[in-house]
Structure formats: C-alpha cells, structure tokens
A and B are shown apart, each in its own frame.
Chain A
Amino acid sequence: AQSVTQPDIHITVSEGASLELRCNYSYGATPYLFWYVQSPGQGLQLLLKYFSGDTLVQGIKGFEAEFKRSQSSFNLRKPSVHWSDAAEYFCAVVPNQAGTALIFGKGTTLSVSS
C-alpha cells in the first residue's frame, strides 16, 4: 500500500543544534515530495518541495531536504535550530500522475530547548 512514514513522533533539540527529521515513502515510482510546517493553531505552510533534478533542495527559513531514491527517503535538515522553529512538521507526497491527491505522514513535533 502507498504510504508516508515519519518515524519520529516527537523530537527535542537544543537551540543552535542541528536538526534532521526523517521521512520515508512507499510508492511504485518516485512521487513529488513536500515538507510542510504547522505552528500551533495555524494552517500549514510549505517549507520546500522536490519534483525532479537536484536531489538537495533548499526551502524557506533555512531548511533543506535531500531526496535519496535508493532509500525512498526525503529527510528535512537545518544546520542550527532557533526557538521559533518549534512546530509540527509534515512530510507529504503525491504520485507523479494526474488525478491523485497529496497524502501526509503523521507528523513530527519539534520542541526546542534553551
């Protein structure tokens, strides 16, 4: 079955430390890949996306993600976390075909400690 897995439900990192959030997908072909962020009580904001080409993509707020076809992964990274990065992060995929819809992982909650 097609699925998106975010193995970590909750992660705590110290302010200034690096961050990596994991995402794995299970699809027959490489889907289009996205990371969204949701601050408490807010809607979702797109951080970055991967359609094709360079497997390292840059997003907003200093985030980047790397697509690894061999591992069916699209992990999100940030070199130095700020307290304002505390939020819930969602990986999402859509198959590379018309007429389907965006499917989300269950999310990872990031806490930032001082």
Chain B
Amino acid sequence: NAGVTQTPKFQVLKTGQSMTLQCAQDMNHNSMYWYRQDPGMGLRLIYYSASEGTTDKGEVPNGYNVSRLNKREFSLRLESAAPSQTSVYFCASSLTTNTEAFFGQGTRLTVV
C-alpha cells in the first residue's frame, strides 16, 4: 500500500532553474495538497486541489504553479527557483477537504 508517493526525495537547483515535483496517491482521494515546511514555521499551504479539475491558492503560492493532472496526480512546478524556496515540500491527500490528510515522505529542495 504505497499511499502518497513523492518524487524526487532530494534535489539541488541553481537559482533560476525550473523543476516539477511529482505527487501521486493510490487511495482514490478527491483532495490533494502541497505544503512547504521551514524551521519554526510549521507547514504552510502552497496550493490545494479540492477535487479533480480545481486548484486554489493557499497561504504561500507566489513562485509556484500546480497541475491536477488526474485524480491520482498533483504536481508542483517552480518556474524560476529562488534561494527562498529552499525547503522541505510535502504532498498530501484526503478523501475530502475536511477529512484527515495522508502525507508523503517529503522532497528536500535546496536552491543555491
């Protein structure tokens, strides 16, 4: 039972490079999320998708874009990476937006 799978697990980017973080869930959940975790800041919501075909901004969306590719997959794109985007990124999914979320293992991203 894979749950929520994120790729890659680690990534180093140079300032200005782009990349896409991938996330897939196999629990037939309707809602998916991207969070970033920084020391002392907890988890902050970047974007979420309440259901297939919809996406909404969270608390810290600037510099990011998302795509809900299908019910299983929700990707996060950094078009022009900045050092301020160095963080650990977590993808999560839930049956609906007001049920418990299940988290992936995270992607540690460093922008130099």
Binding site for B on A (CB under 8 A): 6, 9, 32, 34, 36, 42-46, 49, 90, 94-107
The yes or no answer to B61 lying at the interface (CB within 8 A) is no
CB within 8 Å for A102 and B42 given contacts A43-B90, A44-B90 = no
| Contact flags B37-80 to A (C-beta < 8 A → 1, else 0) | 00011111100101000001011000000000000000000000
A60 to B47, CA, bound (A): 29
Given contacts A44-B103, A46-B100, A94-B98, contact A99 B42 (CB under 8 A): no
Q: Which residues of B contact A101 (CB under 8 A)?
A: 31, 33, 45, 48, 50, 56, 58, 97
CA distance A49 to B102 in the complex (A): 13
Query: What A residues does B105 contact at CB under 8 A?
Result: 42-43
Does B82 sit within 8 A of A, measured CB to CB? Answer: no
Residues on A with beta carbons closer than 8 Å to the beta carbon of B92:
44, 102
Do the beta carbons of A107 and B42 come within 8 Å of each other?
yes
Q: Which of B42, B44, B106 has the most CB of A within 10 A?
A: B42
**Shortest beta-carbon distance, A98 to chain B, in Å?**
6
Query: Smallest distance from the beta carbon of A28 to chain B beta carbons, Å?
Result: 15
* A102-B104 contact given A43-B90, A44-B90, A94-B98, CB 8 Å threshold: no
How many angstroms from the CA of A104 to the CA of B45 in the assembled complex? Answer: 9
Name the CB-closest residue of A to B59.
Answer: A103
Cβ contacts A to B, 20 pairs, < 8 Å: A6-B42, A9-B40, A32-B98, A36-B103, A43-B4, A43-B103, A44-B90, A49-B100, A94-B97, A94-B98, A98-B97, A99-B56, A100-B98, A101-B33, A101-B50, A101-B56, A102-B45, A104-B44, A106-B40, A106-B42
Residue in B closest to A102 when the chains form the complex, CB atoms = B101
CB of B39 to closest CB in A, whole Å? 10
Give the CA-CA distance A32 to B48 in the complex, in Å.
Answer: 18
